[in-house]
Structure formats: C-alpha cells, structure tokens
Amino acid sequence: MVTTETAARSAAESQIDQCLLDEARRHLGGVGPNEAVNEGLRLLVMQQRLERREVLRELRKMSAERVFDYTAFDEVDE
C-alpha cells in the first residue's frame, strides 16, 4: 500500500511534459504512455551510442593519418 506522502512525492518527481508525450504517442501509433517514454529513451540512447561511435571512428582515422603529435608526451618523460 502506498502512503499519501509517497504518492504525492512520486507524482511531483515524475512530471512529464504532456504535450511531448501526446505527440510521441501519436508518432508511435497511439501506444501507451509507458511505451512512448521507453521508446523515447531507447531512441535517445541509440542516438548517443551512434554519435560516440562516429567520434571514435573519426579519432581513429585521424590517428592513422598521424594528425596527432605525440612528441610532446616524450618530452615530458625526459
């Protein structure tokens, strides 16, 4: 059983922008609110992973092209 204080605190902590939620649900074919939130989170995480992979790919390419000058590291060790 949830106490009134816990229920009030939970409701205050989990306020979701209703307009964004409604739009997301429309785009997803009228799924429930939980499904819409989970899909939004999934898409955000996938986008962030893709961006990190692209940055890592570019850094590896730059390293292979010897864009970075590592001699400064050698000077610090001397």
Q: Which of 10-14, 25-29, 44-48, 59-63 has the lowest mean pLDDT?
A: 10-14
Judge whether 16 and 37 are in contact, CB under 8 Å. yes
Mean pLDDT of the chain: 87
The distance from CA 54 to its chain's CA centroid, rounded to whole angstroms, is: 15
More confident residue, 28 or 13: 28
Q: Give pLDDT, residue 12.
A: 60
pTM over 0.85: no
Instruction: Count CA atoms within 13 Å of residue 67 on its CB side.
Output: 8
In this predicted structure, the answer to whether residue 47 has a pLDDT above a threshold of 70 is: yes
Judge whether 39 and 28 are in contact, CB under 8 Å. yes
Instruction: With cut-offs at 50, 70 and 90, classify the pLDDT of residue 14.
Output: confident
